[in-house]
A = this chain, B = another copy of it.
Amino acid sequence: MEDIKKKDEAYMRRALMEAQAAFDEDEIPVGAIIVCKDRIISRAHNLTEMLTDVTAHAEMQAITSGANMLGGKYLKDCTLYVTVEPCVMCAGALGWAQISRVVYGASDEKRGYTKYAPDALHPKTTVTSGVLEDECRALMQDFFQRKR
């Protein structure tokens, strides 16, 4: 159990590096990676401003490129690590992808799927929340404080 926790934190640090890249590009700082059999198969960060596209969330890009990498649209043996709780759109996409596991850092009370679409994920998908929560949230708070 301690091992899983350590591994989750290590992968979440990679997702945080992606979130930092978003921050540096003046994008809302959310980062995501997808891990399949202990290998990172995709990494992405929010690009909604740069692409002027509301669908360009970190998770969406990670799903698309992960599926591309695997050559199939389902992510059944994969774990998504994302710094912030997925929104309704991203949770819906993760549901279609039938991803095995979702690990997120900070909760999103305003836009998170657990409030607006609690059954969006596939019934078999397991969820772990709060991994490196403080760091993930701090990056978001920093970003929005600078915007004021």
Verify A55–B64 contact, CB threshold 8 A.
yes
A141 vs chain B, min Cβ distance (A): 21
A27 vs chain B, min Cβ distance (A): 12
Indicate whether A97 reaches chain B with its CB closer than 8 angstroms.
Answer: yes
Q: Mark A36-66, 1 if CB is under 8 A from B, else 0.
A: 0000000000001100111100001001100
Verify A73–B89 contact, CB threshold 8 A.
no
Residues of B within 8 A of A96 (CB): 54-55, 87, 89
Cα(A64)–Cα(B57), bound, Å: 12
A3 vs chain B, min Cβ distance (A): 31
Verify B54–A93 contact, CB threshold 8 A.
yes
Cα(A67)–Cα(B47), bound, Å: 14
Q: Which residues of A contact B (CB under 8 A)?
A: 48-49, 52-55, 60, 63-64, 67-68, 71-74, 87-93, 95-97, 116-117, 119-120
The 6 closest A-B pairs by CB, nearest first: A89-B92, A88-B92, A117-B117, A54-B96, A52-B73, A89-B93
- Known contacts A54-B74, A89-B93, A91-B92; 17 additional CB pairs below 8 A are A48-B73, A49-B73, A52-B68, A52-B72, A54-B97, A55-B60, A55-B64, A55-B93, A55-B96, A87-B92, A87-B96, A88-B88, A88-B120, A89-B89, A89-B90, A116-B120, A117-B117
